[in-house]
A and B are shown apart, each in its own frame.
Chain A
């Protein structure tokens, strides 16, 4: 089963990352290395700072583009990784070890499978 681990940041975790980028990124690199080695790593990306984002909405056929996230969210998405694990417990275990889990939050979401069984 594939799981997406969504990495969340807030003001405090952004500052923690700015204080010790090498230490925290080193932690992440070590986990990614291990996941590649175990054959569980499918992919992942980091997102640019939230100040670089645009929110797009179409209402009554008219597009409106605004700077930043739609609401002044306390937490926002900072990146994701995609893993394939034998059990949901294993996906949660991986998320637990991510530094962002202690600094802000990680969200574990199963992916939809394109195939299914006869009903």
Chain B
């Protein structure tokens, strides 16, 4: 044992090792469900012992040994699994060193993190299950931490995780990287799950829901890990850049009382310059060498905003061109909403309102407060203040987010009442 590290350093180390240890166990014992529980127990034991007693010479090997012991203990105590225990005992020679010697690079260590991630984001699982399982098995978070972040009781989250694991078992999903021809579709699901986790914590900055804000940092950490493993993939780099550039605005996005500050009114001195530099460099480099994709385009748009010293310096023709490209590549009503705003900034509010009108019959946006909010914003730009006020109020009634509703109510309140 070496000198004792801090609890936070141990936690960082453990959470990076979690999917590798799990991968090693699953390849050896072929039981994802039990292996995942055993890894959680080993992580917990390490979190208690290491800050006190110092790091073992090979932390990864220590975790694999402890988790394997937990797993075999579990099997021994479980009579119904007697036959499988016999199989496992036959597979593992007695006293075999389960992990490679210190310094020796385990052959599958990196693939394993990816394989676990692909498994947790398998399309057979619901989005809620994908998110919960990814945070636990890849992120190394405890069920209690995940439950706190999603504001549900721990029992509810435990059930979601156990159900997801049962589903993996029932559908017989194998523990290996998806075949080459499925790889890009499956990676798209992984990126979707990571972006979902990122957006969960997006505007929460303080108060009783702080745990939820930590999801943003966790999503960036996991996406960074995927980028390290797949450095040439343009969309992975694009998503990481998008997250960094969006997260850079966090200090300016809300007031101390939790009220939202729109992009145009944010104090840009409070933006995180280091995140912006990293995000801009990443997206610039990626656009040069990889085939363009939706995350890269969204990151490029975020970069244009990030590079404007003041809101009025924004290169709107550039933003508009990027939205036109995005709309062709990945058409979606949310993209059209943002496209309409960019169009209004370049060609005037009437052009934006015309584009918005094309969304009126769109089922996917029916009754969505964002459509009303954007229309109200463009009406306000056009000088139709009474209609803008009515639009903001309608949007506020339809919003199901507290900070967004408050923002929309405030927008409506500062406009004159059309009935007077």
Q: Interface residues, chain A, CB within 8 Å of chain B?
A: 1-2, 36-43, 84, 86, 110-119
Contact = CB atoms under 8 A, between A and B. Distances in A.
B163 A39 contact: yes
The 4 closest A-B pairs by CB, nearest first: A116-B401, A39-B160, A116-B404, A116-B403
A117 B156 contact: no
A117 B153 contact: no
B75 interface: no
Contacts of A116: 202-203, 260, 399, 401-404, 407
A39 B126 CA distance: 11
A43 B153 CA distance: 8
A91 to B, nearest CB: 12
A36 B159 contact: yes
A39 B156 contact: yes
A113 B401 contact: yes
Contacts, number: 83
A47 to B, nearest CB: 20
A43 B155 CA distance: 10
A37 B167 CA distance: 12
Contact of A114 (B126, B156, B402): B402
B276 to A, nearest CB: 16
Contact of B402 (A38, A84, A113, A118): A113
Contacts of B127: 86
Interface of B: 126-129, 151-153, 155-157, 159-160, 163, 199-204, 207-209, 212, 249, 253, 260, 262-263, 373, 399-405, 407-408
A115 B159 contact: no
A111 B400 contact: yes
Contact of A115 (B153, B209, B399): B209
A115 B403 contact: yes
Contacts of B157: 39
A73 to B, nearest CB: 24
A63 to B, nearest CB: 29
Nearest to B152: A42
A53 to B, nearest CB: 27
25 contacts: A2-B151, A37-B163, A39-B129, A39-B159, A41-B156, A41-B159, A42-B152, A42-B153, A42-B156, A84-B128, A84-B156, A110-B400, A111-B400, A113-B400, A113-B402, A114-B403, A115-B200, A116-B260, A116-B402, A116-B404, A116-B407, A117-B199, A117-B203, A117-B404, A119-B262
Contacts of A115: 200-204, 209, 212, 401, 403
A36 B400 CA distance: 25
A19 to B, nearest CB: 33
B104 to A, nearest CB: 41
A43 B129 CA distance: 19
B209 A114 contact: yes
A114 B200 CA distance: 10
